[in-house]
Amino acid sequence: MIITYPIVETFHSLQGEGYWSGVSAFFIRLAGCDVHCPWCDQKESWSQHNHPQLSGQLLTQQVVAANPKIMVITGGEPLMHNLEPLTTELASLGIPLHLETSGAYPLTGSFDWITFSPKPYKPPHRSIYNHVKELKVVIADSEDLEWAEIQADQIPPTAIKYLQPEWHSQKSSQIVYNYVLKNPQWRVSLQTHKYIGVR
């Protein structure tokens, strides 16, 4: 039986956020998310319906054609799906495979890098914490800093910690700037792809 996944879009661009910012990346955006962040800029990904179902084999062919430095499975919330078959298929390419997740569901699949972006609207499943390579907490207002610290206490000490201003909140950049100056264990993550006008 061929396993397929609902795909919102695939595209080749630069990773815009976090540690791998600026690197050539092929994105696979899976449909489905019930975290429902009020400021979400991917609301079209919330429903699993009305999106084409693609096989891992077809997605692998797209990656080969793009020839990126890294592959990124994102969403939506990708862990709503069993990612084991998809990551097994993609791993055959020998290209580093990254996951971007809120961690709201149990971890499935094998990854070289996990970007963990926990959301208070649907708290993470405990299976994610030991596998986090970078923590990226979106900050809309100062109350979110407390949530960021609670999450940071549960990840490996080697994980890199980012605060990312919420794009639509004018005060968020100043909140993050002030906090990182006083708490240098944190870094600022900017959505650089939006500044240069690419996806």
Q: Which residues bind ligand SF4 (CB under 6 A)?
A: 33, 35-37, 40, 42, 45, 75-77, 102, 119
In whole angstroms, how close is the CB of 27 to ligand SF4 at the nearest point? Answer: 13
Nearer to ligand SF4, 95 or 137 (CB): 137
In whole angstroms, how close is the CB of 126 to ligand SF4 at the nearest point? Answer: 18
Nearer to ligand SF4, 95 or 135 (CB): 135
Q: How far apart are CA 88 and CA 110, in angstroms?
A: 8
Nearer to ligand SF4, 30 or 95 (CB): 30
Nearer to ligand SF4, 27 or 60 (CB): 27
In whole angstroms, how close is the CB of 113 to ligand SF4 at the nearest point? Answer: 18
In whole angstroms, how close is the CB of 35 to ligand SF4 at the nearest point? Answer: 4
In whole angstroms, how close is the CB of 36 to ligand SF4 at the nearest point? Answer: 5
Task: Write the CB contacts of 159 (distance below 8 Å, at least 6 apart in sequence).
Answer: 116, 132, 133, 134, 135
In whole angstroms, how close is the CB of 4 to ligand SF4 at the nearest point? Answer: 20
Q: Which residues of 119-156 are buried (b: 16+ CB within 10 A; e: fewer)?
A: beebebeeebbebbbbbbbbbbeeebbebbeebbebbe
Nearer to ligand SF4, 6 or 76 (CB): 76
Nearer to ligand SF4, 31 or 152 (CB): 31
Q: Among 127, 107, 113, which Cα is nearest to 69's? A: 113
